[in-house]
A and B are shown apart, each in its own frame.
Chain A
Amino acid sequence: MDREYDLEELLQEFSSLDDAPSALEPEEPAAPEAPDELPEAPFSQEAPAKPEEPVEELPFPQGSEAGDLPPVPDEEEDWEPEAEEVPPVKKNLFYEVLMAFAGLIFLGVTAIALLWVVLNVHPDGGTATTVAGDTRLSLTNNLDVYMNNAASDALGDLAYIKKIYTIGESATVAPVPDPKGFGTTDDPAVIQALIDQAWELLEGQEMIWSPEADFVPGEPMRYYYDETILVIQWKEYIEERCCTCAEVKLAHGSQVRRKLAEDTYGSSVQLYASEMANAANAVIAINGDFYNFRNLGITAYQRKLYRNNPATVDSCFFTAGGDMLFSKAGELMKTGETEKFIKDNDVVFAIAFGPILVDKGELQYCASYPIGEINLEYSRSCIAQKDTLHYFLMTINHTDDARPRANINELARFVHSKDVIKAYTLDGGQTAEIVMMGGPVNNVDFGNERAVSDILYFATAIPSQEVSQ
C-alpha cells in the first residue's frame, strides 16, 4: 500500500474546486511546505531565491525538464530525490532590454492577430455552400402553366379546363397538405372507393395496390388524396417478409422532391427523416441515399452537379417531368458529360446508392456491389416508377415475430413483382424508412429513426391559400 497518496483524498482533490487541504497539500500558510514555498519559478531562467528552508524543499533543479530517476520500490516510502546545487544565472541587462523590446513587438503582433480573428473568424454558418439552387427558369413551361390556369379561370363554368399546379424548383417547403385529405382505414373497400374517386388524376393508369394483397393484420392503410396527389400506404407480406409499401400518383413532376438537411448541399447537419418530412410539408417521404455518409456516385441538387464519382455505383436521376433515369456504374465518368446529361434530360436532382433493381420493366440481377451489403439479410428501401408520375415505395424491415428481411436480389424480385418499369435501391439498415402523417410508418431498425442528410418526398401542389378557402 502506498501511504503517500490516499486514493479517496486525491479523488476529492481532483473533483472539488474548493481549497480543502489534501494529503498532497500541506496546510497553508503555516506549514513550511506550502505551495508558495515549492519551486516558485519552476521554469525560471533566473537564479532561484535562496530558500530559507533546507534544500530538500527544492528537490529538483530549477527549470529541470525531466526528472527521470531509477525505479523506486513502494516500500521505500521515505524516498526523496536528492537536491542539486543550482548554479546562479547572471543577469544580462542588454538581454533583458532586448527581451522587453521583443515582448512589445509581440504584443503588437498579438493585437493584430486578435483583430484579424474578430474580423474574419465567425464559425456560425457551419457550411460554406448554401444552395440557392439553380434558378434557371423554364420560361416555356411556366408560360404554359400560366396560360392554362388563366384560361381555366376565365372560362369558369363555360368549359372545364383542369388547372395545373406546380411547386417552385427552389422552394424548400411545399404547400401544406389539406388535413381533410388524410385518412386511415382497415377496409380495402374504402381505398378502392378512393381510387375510383381519383380517376382523373390516375389518367387510366392501373394501380399497384390490390385488395387481394396479403395485408399485415392489424396494420391500417393510410391515404391522402387531393387534386394533385394520391397516396396509398399499406403493409403486406411477400414471401414471408413484411413489406411496407406506398403508391403515389402525382399531377406534376415538381411534386417529387428532394430535401437536404438545412437545405444545403454538404451541410454537416443530420436530421431525422420525419423532422425533414414535416418541415417540408411532405405528404409522404422516404429516406434518400444519405449522400453525406459516402462520397460515391453522382449527386445533383437543384440542377447543379455536386459530385461526379460514378465509377463504382449506379446513379438515379429525377427529371423535371418526374421521370427516373439511370446511369450505371462506370458511365458518365467525365464531369462535362454528366453536366450535359443533366441539361439535356432536364434533370432536377440525382441520388446515388443503388444498385438498379428494375430497368425498362426487366429484373436486374446484382452479383456484387460496393455498398449496401447486398448479399446480407438487411432492412431495405427502394423507390420505383410504374408509369408517368406514378411511383411505388417499399421498405422491408424486421418484425416483432422475427420475420426475415431481404438481400438485394430478393428486394429486386419483390419490387419487380409489382409491375414497375424502374426501381432503384436507397440506403438501407436503420435509414430505411417511410414517413407519413408525421412519423415513420414502418418498423425502423432499433425502434428509432437515424439522423440522415436527405430524404425524397412527395407533396401536394395545391397552394395553401386554396386549401384554406
Chain B
Amino acid sequence: MNASIAIYSGSIVIYWSSIVIGFGLAACLCLSLALFTANGGRGAGMLLLMPLALLFSIPLCRALHWYCHMEQYTGLFSALTDYSSGSYCLPGALLGVWLAALLVHKLGFAPSTGALLDAFAPGAALAVAFIRLSAIFGSTCRSKITFTSPLLRHLPLASAVTNSSGGVDYRFATFFVQFIVMLLLTLWLMKFYGRRAGWPMRSGSRTGNVARMFLLSYSAVEMVLDSTRYDSSFFPFNSFISIAQVFGALCVLGILVYYSVHAVKARGLRPYHFALWLGFLLTLGAAGFSEYMVQRHGSWYLGCYAVMSLSCYLMVLLVYQMYLRCCAKRNKGEQE
C-alpha cells in the first residue's frame, strides 16, 4: 500500500485518504440535512439515514469487490469482517443508501423514501467527489493513459504513479477529474433540487426525481471514467466490461424505462417517444462501440473517450427529456 499516513500512534493508523473520506461524508451529511430540513423534513430522518447508509453500503461495496476479486480474500466472511486491507466497489453504495432510505421511511422518520433520497442526492455527489479526491493521497488514481509530454504532467490532467520497478509514470488523473465533475454535479443537483424537488408530475412519483437525476448523471460519469482506469473491477466471467460500467448502463437504462413508462402513461405514445428511444439506442451503441475500440486500440483513447463522453452526455439529456415529458405544467398562464 502506498497510502500516506496522517496519524500514527501506537496501534492506531489513520490515513489521509480516510480523513478526506470522513470529511466528505460529514459534508454530505451537512448538505443533505440542510436541504432536507429546509424543505420541511425531520432532521432525525437524515441523521438516521447516514449511519444506516454506511452500515449497508460498506459491506455491500466490499462484497461487490470480493465478488470481482475473490482471490484477494480468504473468503467472503473475512472480506466482510476485516477492513484493514482490501478495497471497495462504489456501486454497492447505491444499493446501500437505497436500503437505508427505505428503512428510515419504514421506521416513520421520513414521509417517503424518494423525498429522503432527493435531499440526499446532492450530498451523495459531494461525498463521491471527496472519495475520489482521497485517491490523491494514495495510489488508486490509476489510469491506462500515460503522458509523456512534460507539459501535461500535472493536475488536473495527470498524476504521478509509482510503478513496480520504482519508476514514476504520469498517468491521466482519473479520480481527480471525477472529483471536479462530481463537484459540478453537486452544484447542479442543488439547483435542481431547489427547483424541482416535489415537482408535480402527470404520471409517476413526484419525489425521487432528484435522486434519479443523480443516479443518471453519476452513472454516465462512471461509464466513461471507469473505462480509463487500469484497475477496474470486472465480473469474474467477463474481463472486458467493468462492473461499474455495467451498473452505470443498467441504471441509465432503468431510469429511461421508468420515465418512458410514465411519459407514455401521461401523454400516450407519441412520435417523440420513439425519437428519444432511438436517440438513446444510438448513443448507447456509440458509447459501447467506443469502449470496444479503446480496448482494442489503446492508443486511440483521445478519440474514443471524446465519443464516449459525448454519447453519455447525450444519453443523459435524452433521459432528461423523457423526464420532462412526465412533468406537469407548473400553473396556468406560465407559458404566456
Does the CB pair A3–B335 fall under 8 Å?
A: yes
Interface string of B160-201 (1 = CB under 8 A from A): 000111110000000000000000100110010011011111
Known: A35-B194, A106-B48, A119-B12. A268 touches B164 (CB 8 A): no
Q: A430 to B55, alpha carbons, bound, how many Å?
A: 42
Does the CB pair B321–A123 fall under 8 Å?
A: no
> Which residues, 47 to 70 on A, are CB-close (under 8 Å) to B?
56-57, 59-60, 63-69
Taking CB atoms, residues of chain A closer than 8 Å to B232 are 268
CB contact between B44 and one of A19, A67, A100, A130 (< 8 Å): that residue: A100
Q: A106 to B317, alpha carbons, bound, how many Å?
A: 38
Does the CB pair A114–B194 fall under 8 Å?
A: no
Q: A107 to B42, alpha carbons, bound, how many Å?
A: 13
CB contact between A45 and one of B111, B137, B324 (< 8 Å): that residue: B111
Give the segment of A181-189, A207-215, A442-450 that binds chain B.
Answer: A442-450
Known: A114-B25, A114-B26, A268-B68. A14 touches B296 (CB 8 A): no
Interface size range of chain B in the complex: 35 or more
Does the CB pair B317–A11 fall under 8 Å?
A: yes
A74 interface residue (CB < 8 Å to B) = yes
Q: A414 to B39, alpha carbons, bound, how many Å?
A: 75
Give the segment of B251-259, B265-273, B282-290 that binds chain A.
Answer: B265-273
Q: Chain A's nearest CB lies how many Å from the CB of B225? A: 16
Does the CB pair A292–B109 fall under 8 Å?
A: no
Q: Chain B's nearest CB lies how many Å from the CB of A184? A: 24
Known: A68-B265, A109-B51, A113-B54. A267 touches B231 (CB 8 A): yes
B149 interface residue (CB < 8 Å to A) = no
CB contact between B41 and one of A44, A57, A81, A445 (< 8 Å): that residue: A44
A293 interface residue (CB < 8 Å to B) = yes
> Which residues, 413 to 459 on A, are CB-close (under 8 Å) to B?
430, 445-451
Q: A433 to B228, alpha carbons, bound, how many Å?
A: 23
Question: Which residue on B lies nearest to A262, using beta carbons?
Answer: B164
Q: A217 to B328, alpha carbons, bound, how many Å?
A: 72
Give the segment of A22-30, A235-243, A373-381 that binds chain B.
Answer: A22-30
Does the CB pair B331–A57 fall under 8 Å?
A: yes
CB contact between B71 and one of A77, A113, A266, A269 (< 8 Å): that residue: A266
Known: A65-B112, A123-B17. A73 touches B268 (CB 8 A): yes
Q: A77 to B267, alpha carbons, bound, how many Å?
A: 11
CB contact between B40 and one of A41, A69, A280, A295 (< 8 Å): that residue: A41
Does the CB pair A118–B18 fall under 8 Å?
A: yes
Q: A223 to B164, alpha carbons, bound, how many Å?
A: 26
Known: A72-B266, A117-B21, A118-B22. A129 touches B332 (CB 8 A): no
B50 interface residue (CB < 8 Å to A) = yes
Q: Chain A's nearest CB lies how many Å from the CB of B169? A: 8
Q: A100 to B230, alpha carbons, bound, how many Å?
A: 48
Taking CB atoms, residues of chain B closer than 8 Å to A45 are 40, 42, 111
Interface string of A6-36 (1 = CB under 8 A from B): 0100110011010100011110000001010
Interface string of A264-308 (1 = CB under 8 A from B): 011111111001101111000000001011110000000000110
A362 interface residue (CB < 8 Å to B) = no
> Which residues, 229 to 256 on B, are CB-close (under 8 Å) to A?
230-233, 236, 239
Does the CB pair A78–B332 fall under 8 Å?
A: yes
Interface string of B299-336 (1 = CB under 8 A from A): 11000000000000000110011001101111110110
Can you name 9 extra interface pairs (CB under 8 A) apart from A124-B134, A124-B135, A279-B164? A35-B194, A41-B40, A77-B329, A81-B200, A110-B51, A128-B69, A268-B87, A294-B239, A447-B297
